[in-house]
Amino acid sequence: MAVVSAVRGGRWPLFQRHRQISSSSSTMGSWGSLRSRRHLSFRPNSKRFALFARYSQSQSQDLFSSRLQDSVENLPKLVEDIVQTSINTGPRGALRMAQGIQAVIGVGGEWLSDMSKSTNSTAELPIQLQLGLLSPFYLRRLFERMGATYIKLGQFIASAPTLFPPEYVQEFQNCFDRAPVVPFDEIKTILREELGRPIESVYEYVDPTPIASASIAQVHGARLRGSQEDVVIKVLKPGIEDILVADLNFVYVVARLLEFLNPELSRASLVGIVKDIRESMLEEVDFQKEAANIESFRRYLEAVGLTQQATAPKVYYQCSTKRVLTMQRLYGVPLTDLDTISSLVSSPETSLITALNVWFGSLLACETFHADVHAGNLWLLRDGRIGFLDFGIVGRISPKTWAAMEVFLESIATEEYEAMASALIEMGATNTNVDSKAFARDLEKIFSSIKASIITYIFLQRLVDLDTEVVIATARGTNTTATAVSANVIVDERQMNALFLDVVRVSESYGLKFPREFALLMKQLLYFDRYTRLLAPNLNMLQDQRVSIASNRRSNSRDNFR
Ligand SMILES: Nc1ncnc2c1ncn2[C@@H]1O[C@H](COP(=O)(O)OP(=O)(O)OP(=O)(O)O)[C@@H](O)[C@H]1O
């Protein structure tokens, strides 16, 4: 418990762990344990005090010399590692360095211009200006300018509230993946090289204007020669693997140096985290892996008889490689396009329930689950089915974690905080004994405060004569109404996000550390929450009998999908 209370209230998990470790391994920790064993008192100038002062001094000297010895022993390995990484990076490292300097100058310029505007006003300098390029806002801008790797790192930060401070997690939710379009001639060259034959022999037609261009890939519409099927071609942008390798090697070297300078960071496994990020990013630039994820999802739909309700694009392996993915073209609209959805189906609510059931069902029944269901990747198709796109980011969840997750979700709806605490304890890896009653009380406080702010918000809306439900019901009206709807949705989402971050923060203060899947799952639930507000404002996603989360599925029939 002493360790737990020592870390409670901290904001940065890495820092928390640092404090946690030092409090147990430092001389203070030794003093504390000795003190409790022998029931000694400490009066300054007393013999005992002098004894302990000497004891403490010798302990810290021992600690210092043992650390120094560790460092000296580790130095050759560090140097070897850095040299090896630099050799692997090669000249692309220097090029990236130049691009990095350019990006820093660009964002630095933005900061200076914002500073000059602010210094003209009498108000106090906002915190983000004081922190400069290290503030969440400018750091996010810098990451966007640095391109693919850093955008993905930014998205990783946004999805890992257990590792980063909440201000950064919140800000990096806005890390947009926009990138300049690669000229069509270059795309044609890549296609020719990858497919090993003239593109005219494979495709009847390729649209030179891309459908989408993000930092890693560019997507073009096309038609297959022979079968005349409509397809899309996802092409890995040129040089992207080199950039990823150079950037990730740089991040790795920085992590190694930080761990060398502060060995306690190695217990927080900084290098381990960087290695994990490297692995998952390199997976994302391998379209053969994405193709395998799509196929496994399609197999799941087949196996449970859901192909009439949902689909994922068929992969054309004969014209797909590691860098090129040719897929069936789906036609539809994002789940946030209420106008078109209402014109396609009589009940948008039913479509949403289908999407929820298919996704929840895949958590256990499929090898992996789709871990990026933002509206661009979740469509209502023209034929009324739900289309799942982009399987670049997937997660895996164990039945044990999911069982605890179910209890957690249910407890949100039923407001049973002790059950919520037990579920979170079950999910979070910890060696400490958690005081579940105190934890439950802290969770209740978070939920009560968010409830109070929602009630205040609705009350304020009423004051200005805007009823939430009426606003949503008239969403297809004039521009002003549409603005009111989106404003409403954004406020609610922020509240949800803040709530999630609060739960994670409080859990961590009790020594819990969640698997990455927990954050991935919560993020998807926030997306689904957004769709629910738009498509079925009266639906309680976690309580409605028509929504089958995994364990119900085992006992229920498939009627829920119809
Ligand atoms: N099978 C498909 N049918 C129709 N359009 C598609 C298909 N696959 C991709 N697209 C279009 O291309 C866009 C980008 O595709 P995808 O999401 O796979 O790429 P990405 O680089 O991972 O983008 P992001 O990171 O923004 O999700 C999609 O939002 C969609 O508009």
293 lines ligand 1 (CB under 6 A): no
47: confidence class by pLDDT, cuts 50, 70, 90? low
| Per-residue pLDDT at 205 | 96
Per-residue pLDDT, 267: 53
pLDDT at 490 over 70: no
Mutate to test the pocket of ligand 1, among 232, 244, 372 (most ligand atoms within 8 A of CB): 232
Q: Pick the residue with more confidence: 38 or 370?
A: 370
Is the pLDDT at 482 greater than 50, yes or no?
Answer: no
Query: Is 136 a pocket residue for ligand 1 (Cβ < 6 Å)?
Result: no
User: Which is higher by pLDDT, 307 or 448?
Assistant: 307
Of residues 82 and 534, which shows the higher confidence score? 534
Q: Which one, of 422, 407, 216, lies nearest residue 325 by Cα? A: 216
Q: Is the pLDDT of residue 364 over 60?
A: yes
- Cβ contacts of 189 within 8 Å, gap of 6 or more: none
Beta bridge partners of 381: 332
**Given the CA of residue 390, which atom of ligand 1 is nearest to it?**
18
| Mean pLDDT in residue range 346-361 | 95
Query: Whole-angstrom Cα distance, residue 548 to residue 531?
Result: 17
Q: Which residue has the higher pLDDT, 353 or 46?
A: 353
**Per-residue pLDDT at 315 exceeds 60:** yes
| Contact 235 CB / ligand 1 (< 6 Å) | no
Confidence tier at 451 by pLDDT (50, 70, 90): low
Region 139-157 average pLDDT: 85
Q: Do β-strands 386-388 and 310-311 pair in parallel, antiparallel, or remain unpaired? A: parallel
Whole-number pLDDT of residue 192 = 97
pLDDT in tens, 289-311: 999 999 999 999 999 999 999 99
- Backbone Cα Rg of the chain: 27
Paired residues of 234 in beta bridges: 219, 325
Of residues 78 and 394, more confidently modeled: 394
State yes or no: pLDDT of 11 exceeds 80: no
Mutate to test the pocket of ligand 1, among 155, 215, 219, 231 (most ligand atoms within 8 A of CB): 219
Provide the whole-model pTM.
Answer: 0.69
Compute the distance between CA of residue 225 and CA of residue 205 in angstroms, rounded to an integer: 8
- Between the CA of 391 and the centroid of ligand 1 the distance, in Å, is 10
- The mean pLDDT of the chain is 76
The pLDDT confidence band at residue 489, using thresholds 50, 70 and 90, is very low
Which numbered atom of ligand 1 lies nearest the CA of 330?
Answer: 3
Per cent of the chain over pLDDT 70 is 70
Q: DSSP state, 393?
A: S
The residue with greater pLDDT, 450 or 414, is 414
- Supply the pLDDT for residue 539: 87
Ligand 1 in reach of 330 Cβ (< 6 A): yes
State percent of the chain over pLDDT 90.
Answer: 31
Mutate which of 211, 326, 527 for ligand 1? The one with the most ligand atoms within 8 Å of its CB, which is 211
User: Does ipTM surpass 0.90 in this model?
Assistant: yes
Residue 346: predicted pLDDT: 95
Long-range contacts, stretch 490-498, CB < 8 angstroms, 24+ apart: 491/457, 492/529, 492/533, 493/526, 493/529, 493/530, 495/450, 495/453, 495/454, 496/526, 496/529, 497/170, 497/173, 497/526, 498/170, 498/450
- Mean per-residue pLDDT, 58-85: 64
From the candidates 372, 390, 442, 502, which is the catalytic residue? 372
- 276 is an active site residue: no
Which range has highest mean pLDDT (150-154, 290-294, 433-437)?
A: 290-294
CB hemisphere CA count around 373 (13 angstroms): 32
